[in-house]
Amino acid sequence: MPYLNIRWKIVSTYLIIILVVLLVLSAFLLNTLYSYLFDQRKMDVLTDTNIIASIVSEDFTTDYINQKLPQMPLEKNARAIVVNTGSIVLYDSYKETSMTGKTFINASITNALLPNGKNSSNAFKDNGSWFIDATVPIIKNGQTVGAVYLIVSGDSVASIIAHIQNSLVLLGALILLFVGIFSTSIAGVLTFPIERFTKFINNMPKDSLQHVQINSHDEIGQLALAFNNLIDRMAELEEKRRTFVSNASHELKTPLSIIKLLSDSLIQTENPDPEFIKEFLSDMNKEVERLTRIIEKLLDMTQMDSSQSSMQFIHTDIREITGEVYEKLLPLAKNKDISLSLNQPDDEVILPVERDTLTEAVYNIADNSIKYTEPGGTVSINVSRDLGSVYIDIADTGIGIPKEEIQKVFDRFYRVDKARARETGGTGLGLSIALDAVKLHNGHIEVKSEEEVGSRFIIALPYAEELTPAEASPSFKGE
Ligand SMILES: Nc1ncnc2c1ncn2[C@@H]1O[C@H](COP(=O)(O)OP(=O)(O)OP(=O)(O)O)[C@@H](O)[C@H]1O
Ligand SMILES: [Mg+2]
């Protein structure tokens, strides 16, 4: 299909509709007019023929006819012929090509000469001209003695119709012209805002996101509103991306500056003793490990962002996941003299989950509990369920989180106590990864925490129809 813009689509639709309506209307009008005018004309000719027939029936002799009929006021070019029962012409009003004495026969004369012969009248076209004829039997004393045949030109009717036809064509052309102009301006009014909108988008500077002005409340106004909402979302995403990049660079820069500082002082120290070198190298090593951890977590996160479509949700017993996390953390808890416990139902707790992602989420939360609990404390992992969801509840008797910080702990790189986090090696990414993972399963995380008393993180996973990554919470992306 060739490219046709909306303006021309509107104009051509209008024109086609009007053209079809005009054609149908004129065909109907001309047809009605045609039959009306010709019927009228046929009646007139038949009346004239009847008059002639009644005159000649008074005295049906050649003398009488030839004396009486020339006085009849016939219309111009009309031809009257009188025949006897043998179809021999007794009178012909055309003197030049007179048929008097000859046989003149046609279907309507034959019909009229039959006993109980009938009147008839026809309109026909011959050699491009219209004619109207009429035949009437001549009846004397109840007996058919002959017939009158009258033929006149029908061209006047045809020319009236042709005239009207021309007027209709002219009128149609005017209507089409008017509709053309009218629909072009309507189409212009309709498409102008779209063109303005497109121009605005094309001219928008590459490095900024701007709102389009909304001038109406119609569909185009709605489109502009949706566009502005999209711009807002993009700006929000862009802001998040910027913060993320600046946070990430900052986090990566800190260990790097420490390494630089340590190596500089090593280089500048003349003849350092081996103990000193070893201490510096081990500090540098710690920073390298920290860098590695941050990078690994960043990779985890971006992988979750990008590989959603390759993720597989498989029916899994949640107890296997919590069991695996428990086993992994047990040595860590023992080391720190923390009692770690696991409580779960006796029967299976099946949910379709992306196993690795969910395991990571549970691990990150339980790992925090151990990390932020003083020796001698307890950490418990509980699995339970109700009709709607499965809950993984991880509670500790640790240092707790200040009320105003509770929601922030899910932000990327956020740590409540920065100095302490450096000691514990925290990157501030663990909980944001956990939240992303839980959202991917359409779930949410509830946090209850009190400083110096402890914290409780409850992961709620709804029983859902078969989950596919595409159906997974859209809020996950870009968060
Ligand atoms: N159970 C908890 N008790 C007290 N504070 C906690 C607990 N869990 C998280 N926090 C606070 O929330 C912050 C963010 O936690 P998150 O797991 O995201 O990062 P992190 O533990 O510092 O580093 P990472 O887990 O990436 O190694 C922590 O730094 C800590 O201050
Ligand atoms: Mg953590």
- Please state the rounded mean pLDDT for residues 83-108: 91
Comparing CA positions, the residue from 381, 372, 333, 363 lying closest to residue 434 is 363
- Separation between Cα atoms, residue 74 and residue 249, nearest integer Å: 113
- Please state the rounded mean pLDDT for residues 176-181: 94
What pLDDT was estimated at residue 83? 94
Q: How many Cβ atoms are within 10 Å of 24's Cβ, its own excluded? A: 10
Which pTM was predicted?
0.60
Residue nearest to atom 29 of ligand 1 (CA): 415
What pLDDT was estimated at residue 413? 87
Q: What is the CATH number of domain 308-476?
A: 3.30.565.10
Q: With a cut of 80, say whether residue 205 has pLDDT above it.
A: yes
363 CA to centre of ligand 2 in angstroms: 9
87 CA to centre of ligand 1 in angstroms: 125
Ligand 1 neighbours (beta carbon < 6 A): 297, 364, 368-369, 372, 396, 398-401, 409, 414-417, 421, 426-432, 455
429 CA to centre of ligand 1 in angstroms: 8
**Are 220 and 197 within 8 A, CB to CB?**
yes
**Are 301 and 432 within 8 A, CB to CB?**
yes
What pLDDT was estimated at residue 278? 93
* Nearest-atom index, ligand 1, CA of 431: 18
- Going by the DSSP 8-state scheme, the letter that residue 137 receives in this structure is E
Q: With a cut of 70, say whether residue 421 has pLDDT above it.
A: no
- Separation between Cα atoms, residue 250 and residue 402, nearest integer Å: 25
What pLDDT was estimated at residue 353? 93
CB-based burial label for 72 (10 Å; 0-12, 13-18, 19+): middle
pLDDT band at 477 (very low <50, low <70, confident <90, very high): very low
- Please state the rounded mean pLDDT for residues 48-68: 91
What pLDDT was estimated at residue 26? 93
- Please state the rounded mean pLDDT for residues 237-248: 88
Determine the residue of 298, 365, 368 to mutate for testing ligand 1's pocket, defined as the one with the most ligand atoms within 8 A of the Cβ atom: 368
Residue nearest to atom 17 of ligand 1 (CA): 430
- Separation between Cα atoms, residue 197 and residue 318, nearest integer Å: 52
Nearest ligand, measured from the Cα of 454: 1
245 CA to centre of ligand 2 in angstroms: 20
Q: According to the CATH classification, is domain 6-160 in 3.30.420.40?
A: no
pLDDT band at 116 (very low <50, low <70, confident <90, very high): confident
* Nearest-atom index, ligand 1, CA of 457: 1
405 CA to centre of ligand 2 in angstroms: 15
- Separation between Cα atoms, residue 378 and residue 370, nearest integer Å: 8
Q: With a cut of 80, say whether residue 96 has pLDDT above it.
A: yes
What topology is assigned to 205-306 in CATH?
Helix Hairpins (1.10.287)
Contacts 24+ apart (CB under 8 A), 137-142: 137/53, 137/112, 137/113, 138/53, 138/56, 138/57, 138/60, 138/82, 139/53, 139/57, 140/57, 140/60
Report how far Cα 242 is from the mean position of its chain's Cα atoms.
34
- Please state the rounded mean pLDDT for residues 180-187: 93
Determine the residue of 252, 332, 372, 423 to mutate for testing ligand 1's pocket, defined as the one with the most ligand atoms within 8 A of the Cβ atom: 372
Using DSSP bridges, classify how beta strands 143-153 and 314-317 pair: parallel, antiparallel or unpaired.
unpaired
Ordered by start, the domain boundaries in the chain are: 6-160, 205-306, 308-476
- Separation between Cα atoms, residue 427 and residue 105, nearest integer Å: 119
**Are 317 and 383 within 8 A, CB to CB?**
no
Residue nearest to atom 1 of ligand 1 (CA): 369
- Please state the rounded mean pLDDT for residues 215-221: 88
- Please state the rounded mean pLDDT for residues 243-267: 89
* Nearest-atom index, ligand 1, CA of 417: 31
Percent of the chain with pLDDT over 90: 64
What pLDDT was estimated at residue 423? 67
Q: 195-199, 407-411, 422-426, 457-461 — which one is most confidently predicted on average?
A: 457-461
443 CA to centre of ligand 1 in angstroms: 20
What pLDDT was estimated at residue 312? 83
- Please state the rounded mean pLDDT for residues 131-144: 92
430 CA to centre of ligand 1 in angstroms: 7
What pLDDT was estimated at residue 71? 86
| H-helix segments, 372-450 | 418-424, 430-440
Q: With a cut of 80, say whether residue 227 has pLDDT above it.
A: yes
Q: With a cut of 60, say whether residue 468 has pLDDT above it.
A: no
pLDDT averaged over every residue in the chain: 89
Residue nearest to atom 8 of ligand 1 (CA): 368
What pLDDT was estimated at residue 478? 35
pLDDT band at 254 (very low <50, low <70, confident <90, very high): confident
163 CA to centre of ligand 2 in angstroms: 95
pLDDT band at 309 (very low <50, low <70, confident <90, very high): low
**Are 308 and 440 within 8 A, CB to CB?**
yes
- Separation between Cα atoms, residue 393 and residue 387, nearest integer Å: 17
- The kind and range of the H/E element at 278 are helix 274-306
pLDDT band at 475 (very low <50, low <70, confident <90, very high): very low
Q: 54-58, 377-381, 434-438 — which one is most confidently predicted on average?
A: 377-381
pLDDT higher at 426 or 112: 112
Q: Tens of pLDDT along 346-403?
A: 999 999 999 989 999 999 999 999 999 999 999 999 999 998 999 999 999 999 999 9
- Please state the rounded mean pLDDT for residues 295-309: 78
Nearest ligand, measured from the Cα of 338: 1
What pLDDT was estimated at residue 6? 87
* Range in 201-215, 328-342, 436-450 the model is least confident about: 201-215
Residue nearest to atom 19 of ligand 1 (CA): 428
